Amino acid sequence: MDTIKFVIEQYVDEEGGYRFPVINIYINNSNLIDLVTKIEKKDWDGDIKTRSSYIGFEVPRFGQFRNEMLGRKIYARSVLLTCTCTIELCGSITADIAFNERTITWSDLRSPYLSSNTYSPFVDEADALKEGWKPLDYSGLGPFVFERGQYLSALDAVTQEWHQQKL
């Protein structure tokens, strides 16, 4: 089984000169952003400055984050990461989340804007393919199968941390 951890950490934009708290996701002790970057940038050297442009949910949007993690999604798929501008419609990583008695499974992780099965928000996929667009293959990212109790405990732990930070 895979393991999951949700951690409130500071997102720091050195170029822009700002920082704010986000909820990062760690799967098997690896930051989900790093796992995505390894798919999107095959030759990535691990330098945090050259990571893919995603962040965890902003802490003020904790309610939406929790709902997404519980499968109560706003869009057709659950949003796991957002663009660094914090708007999931700008860029995101999404997944199908399935719950059963013993496990919670994240499958078909992908970006709706870079996947071969969806359209770019700016250009029709057929036109993009004619122009030589090569969709990214996210098939190496998951599926991730979590023990239900461990997953819900991790979500409860970050919920408690969030409540304490609000005080």
Residue 106 has pLDDT above 90, yes or no: yes
In this structure, are residues 23 and 56 in contact, taking their beta carbons and an 8 Å threshold?
Answer: yes
Q: Assign 90 a pLDDT band (cuts: 50, 70, 90).
A: confident
Q: Residue 87, SS3?
A: coil
Instruction: Quote the CA–CA distance of 132 and 22 in Å, as a whole number.
Output: 36
Residue 5 has pLDDT above 90, yes or no: yes
Which tens digit of pLDDT belongs to each residue from 141-160?
A: 999 999 999 999 999 999 99
- Neighbouring CB atoms inside 10 A of 75's CB total 12
Q: What is the pLDDT of residue 42?
A: 74
Q: What is the pLDDT of residue 99?
A: 97
- Neighbouring CB atoms inside 10 A of 94's CB total 23
For 28-116, list the strands marked E by DSSP: 30-31, 54-55, 57-58, 78-83, 92-99, 103-110
The pTM of the full predicted model, rounded to 2 decimals, is: 0.85
Q: What is the pLDDT of residue 123?
A: 59
Instruction: Tell me the CA end-to-end span of the chain in Å, nearest whole number.
Output: 35
Residue carrying the six token digits 């819900």: 152
